[in-house]
Amino acid sequence: KNEVEQSPQNLTAQEGEFITINCSYSVGISALHWLQQHPGGGIVSLFMLSSGKKKHGRLIATINIQEKHSSLHITASHPRDSAVYICAVSGGSNYKLTFGKGTLLTVNP
């Protein structure tokens, strides 16, 4: 079993829909990261959080430490949101990131 599990693996939505991507982890962590990867490879860090909730524009990330679960929400989705969204965790003195496999999001106009 992977230390970081994401669901769904693939997600197709219509423009304007509310989107949720889930992440569960099985190890102790200091922080959870949500990242976005576009075709061609570049990765952009969206959020780093250790508790509660963060919001940036149409993106919202939440984390429940007790349940070892995080969600990434996209409100009013747009075709430009189409990308792979990746959940990763870092923990304690362990500075490395452990990644999930990613969720491929396609938003159709």
Which residues are near other proteins by CB under 8 A? Answer: 4, 30-31, 33, 35, 40-45, 48, 50, 86, 88, 90, 94-102
Closest CB 86 distance from other proteins, rounded Å: 6
Pairing of strands 19-25, 31-37: unpaired
Residue 66: both structure tokens together: 């007790």
Nearer to other proteins among residue 17 and residue 46 (C-beta): 46
We find the least distance from the C-beta atom of residue 109 to other proteins, in angstroms, to be 26
The DSSP letter of residue 27 is S
Smaller CB separation from other proteins, 17 or 31: 31
| Burial call 43-67: b when 16+ CB within 10 Å, e when fewer | eeebbeeeeeeeeeeebbbbbeeee
Nearer to other proteins, 53 or 101 (CB): 101
Q: How far is the CB of 71 from other proteins (least distance, A)?
A: 18
> Distance between CA atoms of 2 and 101, rounded to whole angstroms?
9
